[in-house]
Structure 1
Amino acid sequence: MKFTTIVSLLASVTAAAKCKPRYPVDNTHCPDTGSPVGNVKTGFENWLEMMKSPDFDFKSNYGFITNPTAVNRDLVHEVDYLVAENKLKIVGVVGPEHGFRGAAQAGESLGAATYRDVITNLTVYDGYAFTNGSQWANAFNKMEADTLVFDIQDVGARFYTYIWTMYDAMVGAALAKKKFIVLDRPNPVGGLVVDGATLQLQNASFIGRREIAQQHGMTVGELATLFNEEFLPNEVQLNNTAVKKIDLQVIKMTGWERSMYFDQTGLPWIIPSPNMPTPSTATVYPGQSLFEGTNLSEGRGTTRPFETVGAPFMKDLALDTLVKTLNSYKLPGVIFRPFYFTPSFSKFSGVECGGLQLYVSDRRTYRPITAAIATLSTIRNQFPANFTILATNSIDRLSGNTKLRKFLNEGASYPTIVSSYQADVAAFTQLRSKYLMY
């Protein structure tokens, strides 16, 4: 056998070993067979290329809305890089939930309206404390920005707050008459699947401002164009202003395809929030976050948040029955196993829980919202004396309407619940089709 042939065979074996699923039924940790890892260039990388043009706007005062996910190929934060290279005149930074440097846990405040970043010496504003467009506009005016730049990695679910940080900032940009640039990044769970109910405005909150589907299947750049064309013109905060839309520029990615999952992009995964440690977490999140509206632990305080769910009352033979029931549904692309865990914080901190761990066997057929609803309805029916929906009715804000809560209280089957929002899926799919860029 020739030496080159041996080398080729060894390379193939090594590649196959690297891409071997971590568990026999879990292929979310490596690209699908036959799908080579791409070389996606982010909006930021393409924006850097645009800076080589003599027509680039170097005169503007730039304000950034960003967090630790906005890195270049060398894992250097883009603001740090631009300041060090003296590329642009940056006059301030606004951080979203968890902060500019990612120091805060979910729901935590940074404790100050502004502070001085020791790395860049820039003033950083706590955008998570802003509750309306006027506060954003005031921050933009205070920092004397002409152009705002948004660059944050989203995870593809309506209730992830970063897209609503973008929406609120866009309202602020309209009020302050500022230009708005979005540096696009991949949707880590792909851009093909649209699923879940569309939010109804009476359930609007910071985990869902406007009428989009629970799993929207769009990039932040695409969402920005949809927001600008569909929602800002009828935004009540802009009722008394002549400006109903913003001067929006989306810097597209190159090399990204809608079928791609994050591990196929060639980009490094920077955790977008403390409980989103891997792309596998993002895969299940559009459905599993619904458990935050119940008395069940959604896995916060474990090494597998959202991939696990449970409570102290879900143990032993009852848990075994639950697992067998869920697996009997033969839900596409997912298998359940019993799992015992003790959260280190959040619900049931320090208390042993029994529950489920999800194994995604085929992420292209797996539907996280269907799987989560099937799990919720089955737990509700098997543990009626123990399972409760939180009195805050946060599940209404998560699901976008009151239907899910009412169906669960009535003991409805999961197919009944899933069928109830299919008209929403069809309508939003048609709406978003006008704004797809890839």
Structure 2
Amino acid sequence: MNLSRRGLLAATGAAGALAAGSLAPASASGHGGGGPGRGGLRTGFERLAAEGYRRLAGRTVGIVTNPTGVTRELRHIVDVLHAEGRVDLKAVFGPEHGFRGTAQAGGSEGRSEDPATGLPVYDTYLKSGQDLADVFTASGVDTVVFDIQDAGARFYTYIWTLYDCMEAAALAGKRFVVLDRPNPVTGRAALGPVLHEEFATFVGRKPIAQQHGMTVAELARLFNGEFLAKPVELETVLMSGWRRADFFDASGLPWVPPSPNMPTPDTALVYPGTCLFEGTNLSEGRGTTRPFELLGAEGIDGRWAAAAEALKLPGVRFREAYFAPTFSKFANKTVGGVQIYVHDRAAFDPVRTGIGLLVTARKVWSGFAWREDDWIDKLTGSTSVRTLIDAGADLDRVTGAWRAELSAFRRTREKYLLYR
């Protein structure tokens, strides 16, 4: 497909999205969607409900969702739609961790029947292309709806579930509707390295920045306009009352953990940087009450926290910490390391912080090692971070290496932004 055709298709998707965004606020009372929260924010689902679900009228519908697909009254949207009976809801599609969210990282709940509604639940995890298209065909739906809370990082897999489902819906001839939710760590800027396509996996299918700074509706438009060989019939239902500089607590929405190791918005704030420790032999805090905020390994002492403090990174401080994970790396062993304290969210750069912690960990701990499968390259999107750190490069040298590719992505990203 040539770029001019991609641009035309992207503009067509944008027109539908902007039309959704231009709706005057209306009460969602009586539709299970709840009213606007603090600051007047309404999610995509709340706006869909306020319209009386007219966008889904006459359609057979399946929903890709998980526990985050709730109203502000904490009712799941599947339960709301099933109870009201105004939408012909035929199926639910569960991502990694499952529709009801009981599976740990790298797992799913499989094919089942939802006990609350009796609806069939299809497993999408690790399915893509024609295999996933066949699932949509077998479900008997003609419209696939997506409503999942993202965490704002390239390697958080729900955005690639979005991509895979869009691709499969196009192959199966299905319409695709994205209900937007806030980016919990703001949409101010894209940060970090951009994925090189030879490193594409389920933690990064396409060349976007490590912290993308977009909502799922904006990402859907970008995927459709830039990356899908066969664009899908896409409609996006935007939020109202959300601003790009808003953190999650400005939304007035309840936080439902999108996955077992994303318990709070504080976790999401540091995750785009500290998830990189999954690519090392250090614990990234899984198995603790502060995953991705606690980092460590056996043999590390207070020198690491001191070295991290010496970087004088904006908006963040580091405490010498000791902890014993209950599972994952160093399960039931006491390890030493750091706890991260963000004191100025607006100044904090999670990616630069994560790289700074990698650089200092390698300097102060002789036992530092990358995972043998070079998982760090999949997380960062190339060999650059690993090879520069191994060569002894300082923080500025490592983070400067992606400047040109990040600038290019930012220019592309601008075309698909829908909020100020």
Judge same fold: TM > 0.5, yes or no. Answer: yes
Count matched residues. Answer: 383
> How far has the Cα of 1:323 moved from its partner?
1.8
Q: Of the candidates 401, 412, 422, which is equivalent to residue 382 of structure 2?
A: 401
Q: Which residues in structure 2 correspond to 1:184-333 (within 5 Å)?
A: 184-233=180-229, 244-315=230-301, 319=302, 321-333=303-315
Structure 2: distance between partners of 1:417 and 1:312: 26
Structure 2: distance between partners of 1:73 and 1:290: 32
3-state SS, counterpart of residue 368 of structure 2: coil
1:196·1:424 contact (CA, 8 Å) conserved in 2?
A: no
Q: Which residues in structure 2 correspond to 1:11-410 (within 5 Å)?
A: 37-51=38-52, 56-110=55-109, 112=110, 114-130=111-127, 132-233=128-229, 244-315=230-301, 319=302, 321-383=303-365, 385-410=366-391
Please tell me the residue identity of whatever aligns with 2:172: A
Please tell me the residue identity of whatever aligns with 1:107: G
TM-score, L = length of structure 2: 0.89
Q: Residues 224-261 of structure 1, C-alpha deviation per residue, up to 9 Å, x if partnerless? A: 0000000003xxxxxxxxxx211100000000000100
2:53·2:86 contact (CA, 8 Å) conserved in 1?
A: no
Please tell me the residue identity of whatever aligns with 1:126: D
3-state SS, counterpart of residue 39 of structure 2: coil
Please tell me the residue identity of whatever aligns with 1:174: A
Question: CA distance change for structure 1 residues 109 and 45 in 2, over 3 Å: closer, same or farther?
Answer: closer
Structure 2: distance between partners of 1:283 and 1:109: 25
Question: CA distance change for structure 1 residues 280 and 52 in 2, over 3 Å: closer, same or farther?
Answer: closer
User: Which deviates the most, 403-412 or 289-298?
Assistant: 403-412
The residue that corresponds to 1:423 in the other structure is 404
RMSD of the TM alignment (CA)?
1.2
> How far has the Cα of 1:74 moved from its partner?
1.2
Q: Residues 240-283 of structure 1, C-alpha deviation per residue, up to 9 Å, x if partnerless? A: xxxx2111000000000001000011111111000001000000
How many percent of aligned residue pairs carry the same amino acid? 50
2:56·2:87 contact (CA, 8 Å) conserved in 1?
A: no
1:299·1:310 contact (CA, 8 Å) conserved in 2?
A: yes
Structure 2: distance between partners of 1:201 and 1:181: 27
Structure 1: distance between partners of 2:145 and 2:179: 7
1:137·1:176 contact (CA, 8 Å) conserved in 2?
A: yes
Structure 1: gaps (5+ residues): 1-35, 234-243
1:435 aligns with 2:419: no
1:302·1:343 contact (CA, 8 Å) conserved in 2?
A: yes
Q: Which has the larger radius of gyration?
A: 1
2:92·2:121 contact (CA, 8 Å) conserved in 1?
A: yes
Structure 1: distance between partners of 2:40 and 2:296: 39
Structure 2: distance between partners of 1:259 and 1:52: 29
Question: CA distance change for structure 1 residues 138 and 255 in 2, over 3 Å: closer, same or farther?
Answer: same
Please tell me the residue identity of whatever aligns with 1:38: G
1:37·1:263 contact (CA, 8 Å) conserved in 2?
A: no
Structure 2: distance between partners of 1:50 and 1:39: 17
The residue that corresponds to 2:23 in the other structure is none
3-state SS, counterpart of residue 128 of structure 1: coil
Q: Which stretches of structure 1, 4 residues or longer, exceed 6 Å deviation after superposition?
A: none
> How far has the Cα of 1:73 moved from its partner?
2.0
> How far has the Cα of 1:424 moved from its partner?
1.8
Structure 2: distance between partners of 1:282 and 1:117: 29
Please tell me the residue identity of whatever aligns with 2:90: V
Structure 2: distance between partners of 1:196 and 1:52: 39
Structure 2: gaps (5+ residues): 1-36
TM-score, L = length of structure 1: 0.86
2:304·2:337 contact (CA, 8 Å) conserved in 1?
A: no
Q: Residues 381-403 of structure 1, C-alpha deviation per residue, up to 9 Å, x if partnerless? A: 222x3000001111001001110
Q: Residues 125-162 of structure 1, C-alpha deviation per residue, up to 9 Å, x if partnerless? A: 111141x2112111111011100000000010000000
Please tell me the residue identity of whatever aligns with 1:252: L
Structure 2: distance between partners of 1:363 and 1:79: 34
3-state SS, counterpart of residue 310 of structure 1: strand
Q: Residues 34-78 of structure 1, C-alpha deviation per residue, up to 9 Å, x if partnerless? A: xx952310000001122265xx44211101100010111210000
Structure 2: distance between partners of 1:382 and 1:326: 10
Question: CA distance change for structure 1 residues 160 and 52 in 2, over 3 Å: closer, same or farther?
Answer: closer
1:109·1:129 contact (CA, 8 Å) conserved in 2?
A: no
3-state SS, counterpart of residue 40 of structure 2: coil
